[in-house]
Amino acid sequence: MASGPKREAGSDLAERAGPTDISDPLIRTEARKAFVWIGMAALLALTVFLSQSLLVIFGGIVFGALIDGGAQVLRKVVPLPRGVCVVLVLLLAMLFLLWVGRFAGSQIALQAAELPSTIESQFRHGLSWLRAHGIQPRITDLRGMAQEAVGGIGQVTRVVGGLIGVFTTLFLILVLGIYFALEPRLYRRGVGWMLPIERRDHFEATVAIMGQALRRLLFGRLIGMIVEGLFTWAMLQFYGVPMAALLGLITGLLAFLPNIGAPISGMIMILVGFSGGYEMGLYTIFVYVLIHLIDGYLIVPMIARKTVDLPPALVLAAQLIMGVLFGLLGLALADPLVAMIKIWLEREADRNGRGTPGDAGKTTATPPADPA
């Protein structure tokens, strides 16, 4: 008999308004807007706090796209499963690195030991030339500039590695890239599942376009690195420039950084060239100009036609900002990041211009077929 009143009291309590219930519809609407803005601010703060970790994850995506591109090229030659092709690409890359270390490692190591003394000697010759022409730079000023530069570089490098170190960061990028390359659909579907149903088709198409553009961008960048490195080594070796193999390696590696890598590698090459005389120095200037004419008028336009055509000033600005914020890692990933942001903005503008979200999902361009 006592259960009836208890049930009624329980039902009344369930229907009774709580302290968080808002009866006024205007206040309820404004409260929802406030919660949305608070959530956006919290998400922005969390993104800033986790920016270095997010950049490492993006580095893993970039490395995974590079592996995936190699696996797709291999599958066109040998019809093997995707996982087998990924493993073969990693094995081939490892064998190439072992070959380089076995046949050229000792020579490059010896040349790398000679490079600092050569640059220092040329620096002293430059000071002597300035003094001979009436320019008297003060050593204290030069030392102060050098200390500031070294201090800035050290600070930026610490930002890159964080507490876990640069090598651990690179290891995480390699591991993440392998996982992303082995099962890209798993992670793509996981992110798409968190989106509203009407946006999933648009997301799948956008990610497919981004992946294709990123693979082509990295493949073109890799071709440019190989061409510039080998061409530099061959041209310098032909004339007998010292440390030709090391200079070719430096030029090839720095070719991954557009707009910034070329002046650095060129300055090192020219300094080493003038250590062998004025004729050799002029020859290294000729080699530098020839290499970057080929890169600027042949390789870069070919890459731009197949990928996202980025304005050089935009890429340089992104590199400066990312380099200051995240150091060498941000500098290396600035170009792919800007390319992906540009594709995303173009896709969103196209979607908004076509009409309703449902119509946009039906009328978007067909994404490239995923071979996975």
pLDDT at position 371, please? 46
- For CA atoms 308, 311, 315, 318, the dihedral sign is negative
pLDDT at position 358, please? 45
pLDDT at position 277, please? 79
- Statement: residue 147 has pLDDT above 50: no
Type of residue found at 15: E
The CA–CA distances, whole Å, from 351 to 199, 205, 364 equal: 10, 11, 7
pLDDT at position 372, please? 46
Q: Dump pLDDT digits (tens) for 168-218.
A: 788 888 888 888 888 888 888 888 888 888 888 888 888 888 888 888 888
pLDDT at position 189, please? 86
State how far the Cα of 288 lies from the Cα of 263, in Å rounded to an integer. Answer: 9
pLDDT at position 46, please? 81
CA dihedral 25, 27, 28, 32 (to 10 degrees): 140
The CA–CA distances, whole Å, from 319 to 56, 175, 272, 334, 338 equal: 16, 25, 27, 5, 9
pLDDT at position 146, please? 46
> How far is C-alpha 282 from the chain's CA centre?
34
Q: Dump pLDDT digits (tens) for 318-365.
A: 888 888 888 778 888 888 888 899 888 888 888 887 754 444 444 444
pLDDT at position 355, please? 58
Lowest mean pLDDT among 99-113, 195-209, 248-262, 317-331: 99-113
pLDDT band (50, 70, 90) for residue 81 = confident
% of the chain residues with pLDDT over 70: 67
Q: Does this model's pTM top 0.75? A: no
pLDDT at position 93, please? 86
Helices (H), the chain: 3-15, 25-49, 51-77, 82-103, 105-132, 139-161, 166-182, 184-193, 197-239, 244-254, 261-274, 278-294, 300-306, 312-326, 328-354, 357-363
Type of residue found at 54: L
Average pLDDT over residues 95-112: 69
- For CA atoms 284, 220, 167, 164, the dihedral sign is positive
Q: At what angle do helices 51-77 and 328-354 cross, to 10 degrees?
A: 80
Return the structure tokens found at 309: 């055509």
Average pLDDT over residues 66-84: 85
Residues across the chain: 372
Lowest mean pLDDT among 109-118, 193-202, 214-223: 109-118
State how far the Cα of 238 lies from the Cα of 247, in Å rounded to an integer. Answer: 13
State how far the Cα of 139 lies from the Cα of 110, in Å rounded to an integer. Answer: 30
pLDDT, greater one: 132 or 71? 71
Average pLDDT over residues 131-138: 65
